[in-house]
Structure 1
Amino acid sequence: MTATAAAAEPVTISETPVAVFQLPAHSFVVSGLVVPGIHAAAVTVASPEPGRVTFAAPARPEVCATTFGGALVRIDYLNVTTGAAGSAMVRPCENFLEPTPTTATVNTGPGPVVFSVSLTGSAYSPTAGQPSLPGVGTFTAP
């Protein structure tokens, strides 16, 4: 009798979206046709488990084709109940060659969290996304 192993099913980690109230960071952008515009770098939050959240700040492909393409988004957060604080850096443009991840999972602890958002250039493109204005926001971590 031959023993066979059952095929392992892939583990799916589901994240629950979290409602975020924010004034996004804003960046002045210029396309290849020298058409100026404004991009609002909004932060999204999801929770894979209680006390942990995943930050992202995805940008549309047409925004990534502008001077914003090499920008990075820094998120500084503070849980006002537990005092847990820290910062995370994410890359808004998926196809941009930059080692910074597109999402960052952090331990905020449960409760109300306030955060600030700032835009910065990457090592490849130090002036990407500049000039810019910072943003702020809040959410309740599960």
Structure 2
Amino acid sequence: MRLARSITAVSAAAFASIAMSTATAAAEPVVVTETPVTIFQLPAHSLVVSGLVVPGIHAAAVTAASPEPGHVTFAAPTRPEVCATTFGGALVRIDYLNIATGNAGTVTVRPCENFLEPTPTRATANTGSGPVVFSVGLTGTAYRPTAGQPSIPGVGTFTAP
């Protein structure tokens, strides 16, 4: 009798363990892996001034990753202390051209994550596979039209997978 109870208890525990692991596996989000893309660039530069009227220069560098062949996700992340200057509220505009396929377009990203602006912090573009050249410019928003100004545009190149 004791053996039957022990077997029943062990099988119930095993069944509960399997049910919990299945429920946990179903609840986990699907993670899309992106392949980093090496970029050679001269970033866009902006004159920034802090609240203490201390001037500086910020280089708005672009990063890229490829979620699938022919598509590239652009971003231009920056440090929080830069977002607390006159650069806060600036947008980074990326104009790209695939030399092999002729695919061209523009994406705009927001470098400051905590700034209230509907522009995304990352944008995926259909660049096509092959060599891509791009230019980077800094623009303001409707809320802060002079954010990130004065600035100098940047250029770069990479090979899209």
Task: State the TM-score, normalizing by the size of structure 2.
Answer: 0.84
Equivalent position of 1:10 in the other structure: 29
Cα distance, 1:10 vs structure 2: 1.7
**Pairs within 5 Å for 1:127-142:** 127-142=146-161
How many percent identity over aligned positions?
83
CA–CA distance in structure 1, aligned partners of residues 73 and 29 of structure 2: 21
CA–CA distance in structure 2, aligned partners of residues 114 and 17 of structure 1: 17
Q: 1:91 aligns with which of 97, 110, 119?
A: 110
Higher helix proportion (structure 1 or 2): 2
Deviations 1:53-89 (CA, angstroms, capped at 9, x unpaired): 0000001001000000010000000000000000000
Listed as ranges, the gaps of 5+ residues in structure 1 are none
Equivalent position of 2:122 in the other structure: 103
**Pairs within 5 Å for 1:34-49:** 34-49=53-68
Moved over 4 A (4+): none
**Structure with more contact order per residue of length (Cα contacts < 8 Å, sep ≥ 6):** 1
Q: How many residues align?
A: 139
Cα distance, 1:16 vs structure 2: 0.9
Q: Which has the larger radius of gyration?
A: 2
1:16 alignment partner AA: T
Higher strand proportion (structure 1 or 2): 1
CA–CA distance in structure 2, aligned partners of residues 77 and 27 of structure 1: 21
Task: State the TM-score, normalizing by the size of structure 1.
Answer: 0.95
Listed as ranges, the gaps of 5+ residues in structure 2 are 1-18
Secondary structure of 2:158's aligned partner: strand
Cα distance, 1:92 vs structure 2: 0.2
Deviations 1:73-118 (CA, angstroms, capped at 9, x unpaired): 0000000000000000000000000000000001001000000000
Aligned residues: CA RMSD:
1.2
